[in-house]
Amino acid sequence: MAIELPPPPLQRGRLNHSKYSEFEIEKEAKRLKDAIKQPFRWSFETCMSIAPLTLEINQLKQDKDVFLIAHSYQTPDITYGVADSVADSYALSKEARDAPQKTILFSSVRFMAETAKIVSPYKTVLHPSPEAGCSLSDAITAQDVRDIRAKYPELPVVCYINTSAEVKAECDVCVTSSNYLKICERLPGDGLIFVPDRFMGKHLQNHLAGKKDVIIFDGECEVHAAFTGEKIRTWRRRARDVGMDLQVLSHPECDTDVLEESDFVGSSEVLMEEALRLASIGKKDLMMITECGTTDRVLAESKQDLNIVGACVMCRHMKTTQLEDILQALRDPRPDQIIDLELSVIERASNCLDEMFRLAE
Protein backbone atom coordinates (compact mmCIF):
# COMPACT_ATOMS: atom_id res chain seq x y z
CA MET A 1 0.00 0.00 0.00
CA ALA A 2 1.38 3.44 -0.91
CA ILE A 3 2.17 5.71 2.03
CA GLU A 4 0.79 9.21 1.64
CA LEU A 5 3.49 11.76 2.46
CA PRO A 6 2.60 15.19 3.91
CA PRO A 7 3.09 18.16 1.55
CA PRO A 8 6.61 19.67 1.72
CA PRO A 9 7.01 23.02 3.55
CA LEU A 10 6.36 26.08 1.39
CA GLN A 11 9.55 27.59 0.08
CA ARG A 12 10.17 30.92 1.69
CA GLY A 13 10.39 33.91 -0.63
CA ARG A 14 9.43 31.90 -3.75
CA LEU A 15 5.66 32.28 -3.97
CA ASN A 16 3.62 33.02 -7.04
CA HIS A 17 2.19 36.47 -6.29
CA SER A 18 0.35 36.94 -9.59
CA LYS A 19 -3.13 36.44 -8.12
CA TYR A 20 -3.23 40.05 -6.85
CA SER A 21 -3.20 43.22 -8.95
CA GLU A 22 -0.49 45.88 -8.56
CA PHE A 23 -3.15 48.17 -7.07
CA GLU A 24 -4.14 45.61 -4.39
CA ILE A 25 -0.51 44.94 -3.49
CA GLU A 26 0.37 48.64 -3.23
CA LYS A 27 -2.67 49.34 -1.06
CA GLU A 28 -1.76 46.45 1.27
CA ALA A 29 1.89 47.55 1.41
CA LYS A 30 0.79 51.03 2.48
CA ARG A 31 -1.44 49.54 5.19
CA LEU A 32 1.48 47.43 6.51
CA LYS A 33 3.96 50.32 6.50
CA ASP A 34 1.53 52.62 8.34
CA ALA A 35 0.70 49.94 10.93
CA ILE A 36 4.29 48.83 11.67
CA LYS A 37 5.59 52.43 11.88
CA GLN A 38 9.30 51.59 11.48
CA PRO A 39 10.06 53.02 8.01
CA PHE A 40 13.80 52.24 8.11
CA ARG A 41 13.44 48.52 8.83
CA TRP A 42 10.02 48.04 7.20
CA SER A 43 10.20 50.29 4.14
CA PHE A 44 7.48 50.54 1.50
CA GLU A 45 9.54 48.24 -0.77
CA THR A 46 9.85 45.62 2.01
CA CYS A 47 6.12 45.85 2.64
CA MET A 48 5.49 45.44 -1.14
CA SER A 49 7.40 42.12 -0.97
CA ILE A 50 5.26 40.72 1.85
CA ALA A 51 1.91 42.22 0.81
CA PRO A 52 0.90 39.25 -1.44
CA LEU A 53 1.44 36.91 1.51
CA THR A 54 -0.57 38.97 3.99
CA LEU A 55 -3.35 39.41 1.41
CA GLU A 56 -3.65 35.66 0.84
CA ILE A 57 -3.42 34.83 4.56
CA ASN A 58 -6.14 37.33 5.45
CA GLN A 59 -8.34 35.98 2.65
CA LEU A 60 -7.85 32.36 3.79
CA LYS A 61 -8.68 33.27 7.39
CA GLN A 62 -12.04 34.55 6.22
CA ASP A 63 -12.73 31.69 3.80
CA LYS A 64 -11.86 29.02 6.40
CA ASP A 65 -13.20 30.88 9.45
CA VAL A 66 -9.89 30.87 11.33
CA PHE A 67 -8.96 33.11 14.29
CA LEU A 68 -5.27 33.98 14.04
CA ILE A 69 -3.55 34.93 17.24
CA ALA A 70 0.07 35.97 17.63
CA HIS A 71 2.28 36.42 20.64
CA SER A 72 3.82 39.88 21.14
CA TYR A 73 7.29 38.49 20.33
CA GLN A 74 6.36 37.56 16.75
CA THR A 75 7.70 39.82 14.00
CA PRO A 76 5.69 42.96 13.04
CA ASP A 77 4.68 41.57 9.61
CA ILE A 78 2.76 38.92 11.57
CA THR A 79 1.50 41.01 14.51
CA TYR A 80 0.38 43.94 12.32
CA GLY A 81 -0.08 42.14 9.02
CA VAL A 82 -2.25 39.12 9.75
CA ALA A 83 -3.00 38.67 13.48
CA ASP A 84 -6.56 39.11 14.76
CA SER A 85 -5.25 39.47 18.28
CA VAL A 86 -1.81 40.10 19.80
CA ALA A 87 -0.95 39.72 23.48
CA ASP A 88 0.93 37.52 25.95
CA SER A 89 0.39 33.78 26.26
CA TYR A 90 -2.17 33.86 29.08
CA ALA A 91 -4.44 36.50 27.51
CA LEU A 92 -4.19 34.79 24.13
CA SER A 93 -5.23 31.39 25.45
CA LYS A 94 -8.36 32.96 26.93
CA GLU A 95 -9.05 34.63 23.60
CA ALA A 96 -8.55 31.32 21.80
CA ARG A 97 -11.12 29.77 24.12
CA ASP A 98 -13.67 32.59 23.73
CA ALA A 99 -13.37 33.11 19.97
CA PRO A 100 -16.42 31.89 18.03
CA GLN A 101 -14.23 30.29 15.34
CA LYS A 102 -13.67 26.52 15.53
CA THR A 103 -10.10 26.80 14.24
CA ILE A 104 -7.35 28.77 15.96
CA LEU A 105 -3.99 29.44 14.37
CA PHE A 106 -1.45 30.28 17.09
CA SER A 107 1.63 32.03 15.73
CA SER A 108 4.13 31.51 18.51
CA VAL A 109 6.18 28.79 20.22
CA ARG A 110 4.87 25.27 20.81
CA PHE A 111 3.91 25.44 24.52
CA MET A 112 1.60 28.40 23.86
CA ALA A 113 -0.28 26.57 21.12
CA GLU A 114 -0.59 23.61 23.51
CA THR A 115 -2.02 25.89 26.19
CA ALA A 116 -4.62 27.08 23.69
CA LYS A 117 -5.53 23.44 22.97
CA ILE A 118 -5.85 22.68 26.71
CA VAL A 119 -8.37 25.50 27.21
CA SER A 120 -10.19 24.80 23.92
CA PRO A 121 -10.00 21.01 23.51
CA TYR A 122 -12.79 20.87 20.93
CA LYS A 123 -11.19 23.39 18.61
CA THR A 124 -8.58 22.67 15.97
CA VAL A 125 -5.37 24.47 16.98
CA LEU A 126 -2.86 25.04 14.20
CA HIS A 127 0.78 25.74 15.03
CA PRO A 128 2.67 26.77 11.88
CA SER A 129 6.21 26.05 13.18
CA PRO A 130 6.36 22.75 15.07
CA GLU A 131 10.10 23.21 15.58
CA ALA A 132 9.64 26.47 17.53
CA GLY A 133 10.43 25.52 21.10
CA CYS A 134 11.47 27.58 24.13
CA SER A 135 14.55 27.30 26.37
CA LEU A 136 12.37 27.50 29.49
CA SER A 137 9.73 25.04 28.40
CA ASP A 138 12.38 22.64 27.05
CA ALA A 139 14.32 22.77 30.35
CA ILE A 140 11.92 20.43 32.13
CA THR A 141 10.09 17.18 31.40
CA ALA A 142 7.14 15.47 33.04
CA GLN A 143 9.57 12.93 34.52
CA ASP A 144 11.60 15.77 36.12
CA VAL A 145 8.42 16.93 37.87
CA ARG A 146 7.62 13.41 39.07
CA ASP A 147 11.20 13.08 40.41
CA ILE A 148 11.18 16.37 42.28
CA ARG A 149 7.72 15.63 43.70
CA ALA A 150 8.96 12.26 44.96
CA LYS A 151 11.73 14.10 46.82
CA TYR A 152 9.34 16.58 48.49
CA PRO A 153 6.02 14.70 48.54
CA GLU A 154 4.37 17.11 51.00
CA LEU A 155 4.89 20.24 48.83
CA PRO A 156 2.61 21.56 46.06
CA VAL A 157 4.24 21.93 42.62
CA VAL A 158 3.73 25.28 40.90
CA CYS A 159 4.66 25.63 37.23
CA TYR A 160 5.20 28.74 35.16
CA ILE A 161 2.92 28.88 32.10
CA ASN A 162 6.02 28.44 29.88
CA THR A 163 5.86 24.64 30.15
CA SER A 164 4.62 21.82 27.94
CA ALA A 165 1.16 20.30 28.36
CA GLU A 166 2.75 17.13 29.81
CA VAL A 167 4.54 19.17 32.49
CA LYS A 168 1.39 21.13 33.37
CA ALA A 169 -0.42 17.80 33.71
CA GLU A 170 1.99 16.82 36.52
CA CYS A 171 1.68 20.10 38.47
CA ASP A 172 -0.86 21.40 41.00
CA VAL A 173 -1.20 24.97 39.78
CA CYS A 174 0.06 27.06 36.89
CA VAL A 175 1.11 30.72 37.17
CA THR A 176 1.99 33.59 34.85
CA SER A 177 4.51 36.41 35.19
CA SER A 178 1.71 38.71 36.37
CA ASN A 179 0.19 36.46 39.06
CA TYR A 180 2.99 34.17 40.34
CA LEU A 181 3.72 36.17 43.51
CA LYS A 182 0.05 36.42 44.46
CA ILE A 183 -0.81 32.78 43.77
CA CYS A 184 2.25 31.38 45.57
CA GLU A 185 1.46 33.57 48.58
CA ARG A 186 -2.09 32.22 48.65
CA LEU A 187 -1.16 28.54 48.52
CA PRO A 188 -1.68 26.80 51.87
CA GLY A 189 1.33 25.42 53.75
CA ASP A 190 4.82 26.66 54.47
CA GLY A 191 6.59 25.55 51.29
CA LEU A 192 6.31 24.94 47.57
CA ILE A 193 8.22 23.74 44.53
CA PHE A 194 8.49 26.23 41.65
CA VAL A 195 9.46 25.09 38.13
CA PRO A 196 11.16 25.69 35.73
CA ASP A 197 12.41 29.34 35.83
CA ARG A 198 15.27 29.78 38.31
CA PHE A 199 15.15 33.58 38.11
CA MET A 200 11.44 33.84 38.91
CA GLY A 201 12.11 31.16 41.54
CA LYS A 202 14.74 33.43 43.11
CA HIS A 203 12.32 36.40 43.16
CA LEU A 204 9.80 34.12 44.83
CA GLN A 205 12.32 33.01 47.44
CA ASN A 206 13.05 36.67 48.25
CA HIS A 207 9.39 37.61 48.27
CA LEU A 208 8.35 34.73 50.55
CA ALA A 209 11.46 34.74 52.79
CA GLY A 210 10.46 33.90 56.38
CA LYS A 211 7.00 32.72 55.29
CA LYS A 212 7.53 29.80 52.90
CA ASP A 213 10.42 27.66 51.71
CA VAL A 214 10.66 27.68 47.91
CA ILE A 215 12.42 24.82 46.11
CA ILE A 216 13.45 25.92 42.61
CA PHE A 217 14.48 24.29 39.34
CA ASP A 218 17.32 25.44 37.06
CA GLY A 219 15.62 26.46 33.79
CA GLU A 220 15.98 29.92 32.31
CA CYS A 221 14.76 31.99 29.41
CA GLU A 222 17.84 32.42 27.23
CA VAL A 223 16.59 35.84 26.10
CA HIS A 224 16.03 37.42 29.50
CA ALA A 225 19.12 35.71 30.96
CA ALA A 226 21.23 37.80 28.55
CA PHE A 227 20.53 41.05 30.43
CA THR A 228 22.63 42.11 33.43
CA GLY A 229 22.36 44.77 36.11
CA GLU A 230 25.77 46.08 34.97
CA LYS A 231 24.40 46.86 31.48
CA ILE A 232 21.62 48.92 33.03
CA ARG A 233 24.03 50.78 35.32
CA THR A 234 26.24 51.64 32.30
CA TRP A 235 23.29 53.00 30.35
CA ARG A 236 22.03 54.96 33.35
CA ARG A 237 25.44 56.66 33.69
CA ARG A 238 25.55 57.54 29.98
CA ALA A 239 21.98 58.82 30.05
CA ARG A 240 22.58 60.92 33.17
CA ASP A 241 25.67 62.49 31.59
CA VAL A 242 23.56 63.93 28.77
CA GLY A 243 20.62 64.92 30.97
CA MET A 244 18.29 62.06 30.03
CA ASP A 245 15.71 60.81 32.53
CA LEU A 246 16.01 57.13 31.59
CA GLN A 247 13.16 54.81 32.60
CA VAL A 248 14.11 51.11 32.76
CA LEU A 249 11.32 48.56 32.31
CA SER A 250 12.08 44.85 32.86
CA HIS A 251 10.43 41.45 32.58
CA PRO A 252 10.43 39.18 35.68
CA GLU A 253 12.19 36.39 33.74
CA CYS A 254 15.40 38.46 34.30
CA ASP A 255 17.91 37.93 37.11
CA THR A 256 17.50 39.68 40.48
CA ASP A 257 20.24 42.29 39.88
CA VAL A 258 18.40 43.39 36.71
CA LEU A 259 15.13 43.83 38.55
CA GLU A 260 16.82 45.73 41.37
CA GLU A 261 18.18 48.23 38.84
CA SER A 262 14.81 48.66 37.11
CA ASP A 263 12.16 51.32 37.62
CA PHE A 264 9.31 48.99 36.71
CA VAL A 265 8.86 45.21 36.45
CA GLY A 266 5.98 43.47 34.67
CA SER A 267 4.80 40.92 32.13
CA SER A 268 4.98 41.77 28.41
CA GLU A 269 1.51 43.35 28.24
CA VAL A 270 2.01 45.30 31.47
CA LEU A 271 5.43 46.53 30.30
CA MET A 272 3.88 47.74 27.09
CA GLU A 273 1.07 49.58 28.88
CA GLU A 274 3.59 51.24 31.21
CA ALA A 275 5.85 52.29 28.31
CA LEU A 276 2.87 53.88 26.52
CA ARG A 277 1.76 55.59 29.74
CA LEU A 278 5.25 57.00 30.36
CA ALA A 279 5.45 58.26 26.78
CA SER A 280 2.07 59.97 27.15
CA ILE A 281 3.33 61.98 30.14
CA GLY A 282 6.51 63.06 28.34
CA LYS A 283 8.93 60.38 29.64
CA LYS A 284 10.21 59.25 26.25
CA ASP A 285 13.70 57.90 27.10
CA LEU A 286 13.05 54.22 27.71
CA MET A 287 15.13 51.09 28.09
CA MET A 288 13.09 47.92 27.49
CA ILE A 289 14.67 44.87 29.15
CA THR A 290 12.82 42.19 27.25
CA GLU A 291 12.37 40.54 23.85
CA CYS A 292 12.49 42.83 20.79
CA GLY A 293 8.85 42.15 19.85
CA THR A 294 7.64 44.19 22.82
CA THR A 295 9.79 47.12 21.70
CA ASP A 296 8.39 46.80 18.16
CA ARG A 297 4.86 46.99 19.56
CA VAL A 298 5.62 50.01 21.75
CA LEU A 299 7.09 51.82 18.72
CA ALA A 300 4.07 50.94 16.59
CA GLU A 301 1.45 51.87 19.18
CA SER A 302 2.92 54.97 20.79
CA LYS A 303 1.39 58.27 19.69
CA GLN A 304 4.61 60.02 20.73
CA ASP A 305 8.11 59.72 19.27
CA LEU A 306 10.21 57.56 21.58
CA ASN A 307 13.90 57.30 22.32
CA ILE A 308 14.53 53.60 23.06
CA VAL A 309 18.09 53.12 24.33
CA GLY A 310 20.20 49.96 24.63
CA ALA A 311 19.46 46.76 22.76
CA CYS A 312 16.56 44.38 23.06
CA VAL A 313 17.30 40.66 22.60
CA MET A 314 15.60 38.52 19.96
CA CYS A 315 14.17 35.10 20.75
CA ARG A 316 15.33 32.72 18.02
CA HIS A 317 12.41 30.40 18.82
CA MET A 318 9.78 33.13 18.52
CA LYS A 319 11.34 34.40 15.30
CA THR A 320 11.22 30.96 13.67
CA THR A 321 7.75 31.53 12.26
CA GLN A 322 7.49 33.35 8.94
CA LEU A 323 4.49 34.36 6.88
CA GLU A 324 5.09 31.36 4.57
CA ASP A 325 4.68 28.97 7.52
CA ILE A 326 1.36 30.57 8.39
CA LEU A 327 0.21 30.39 4.79
CA GLN A 328 1.18 26.72 4.59
CA ALA A 329 -0.75 25.90 7.78
CA LEU A 330 -3.82 27.72 6.47
CA ARG A 331 -3.74 26.30 2.94
CA ASP A 332 -3.09 22.67 3.77
CA PRO A 333 -1.80 21.97 7.29
CA ARG A 334 0.67 19.14 7.69
CA PRO A 335 -0.13 16.70 10.52
CA ASP A 336 2.73 18.15 12.61
CA GLN A 337 1.13 21.62 12.33
CA ILE A 338 -2.02 20.44 14.13
CA ILE A 339 -1.77 20.29 17.94
CA ASP A 340 -2.76 16.83 19.11
CA LEU A 341 -2.67 16.04 22.84
CA GLU A 342 -3.81 12.96 24.74
CA LEU A 343 -7.17 13.45 26.44
CA SER A 344 -5.78 12.52 29.88
CA VAL A 345 -3.01 15.12 29.47
CA ILE A 346 -5.59 17.76 28.50
CA GLU A 347 -7.76 16.91 31.52
CA ARG A 348 -4.92 17.03 34.07
CA ALA A 349 -3.27 20.12 32.54
CA SER A 350 -6.68 21.78 32.50
CA ASN A 351 -7.05 21.20 36.28
CA CYS A 352 -3.67 22.91 36.75
CA LEU A 353 -4.85 25.95 34.75
CA ASP A 354 -8.28 26.01 36.46
CA GLU A 355 -6.54 26.16 39.82
CA MET A 356 -4.68 29.24 38.58
CA PHE A 357 -7.95 30.93 37.53
CA ARG A 358 -9.44 30.11 40.98
CA LEU A 359 -6.46 31.39 42.99
CA ALA A 360 -5.92 34.46 40.82
CA GLU A 361 -9.45 35.76 41.58
What does the binding site for ligand SF4 look like in residue numbers (CB under 6 A)? 73, 109, 134-136, 162, 221-223, 291, 315, 317-318
Closest to ligand SF4 by CB, 66 vs 139, is 139
Min dist. Cβ of residue 296 to ligand SF4 (A): 14
- In the complex, the smallest distance separating the C-beta of residue 106 from ligand SF4, rounded to whole angstroms, is 13
Smallest separation (angstroms) from ligand SF4 to the CB of 291: 5
d(CA 277, CA 269): 12
CA distance 296 to 73: 9
- Contact 258/288 with Cβ under 8 angstroms? no
Using the minimum distance from each CB to ligand SF4, give the nearer residue, 77 or 253: 253
In angstroms, give the least distance from the CB of 108 to ligand SF4. Answer: 8
Write the CA distances from 235 to 16, 37, 224, 245, 286, integer angstroms.
Answer: 47, 26, 17, 11, 11
Identity of the residue, 315 or 323, whose beta carbon is nearer to ligand SF4 in the bound complex = 315
Burial of 19 (0-12, 13-18, 19+ CB in 10 A): exposed
- Nearest to ligand SF4 of 109, 232 (CB atom): 109
- Which CB, 51 or 91, lies closer to ligand SF4? 91
Q: In what order do the strands lie in the sheet with 307-308?
A: 264-265, 247-250, 285-289, 307-308
Nearer to ligand SF4 among residue 88 and residue 261 (C-beta) = 88
**Beta 213-216 vs 264-265: how paired, if at all?**
unpaired
Nearest residue (CB) to ligand SF4, 155 versus 289? 289
**At what angle are helices 268-280 and 292-301 packed, to 10 degrees?**
40
Q: How far is the CB of 326 from ligand SF4 (least distance, A)?
A: 18
CB of 140 to ligand SF4, least distance (A): 12
CA distances to 59, 106, 164, 175 from 52, in Å: 11, 21, 34, 40
Q: Say which residues have a Cβ less than 8 Å from residue 171's Cβ, sequence separation at least 6.
A: 145, 157, 158, 159, 163, 195, 352
56: number of Cβ within 10 Å: 20
Closer residue to ligand SF4 (CB): 32 or 275 = 275
CB of 109 to ligand SF4, least distance (A): 5
Tell me how far apart the alpha carbons of residues 159 and 131 are, in angstroms, rounded to a whole number: 22
358 class by beta-carbon count within 10 Å (0-12 exposed, 13-18 middle, 19+ buried): exposed
CB of 136 to ligand SF4, least distance (A): 4
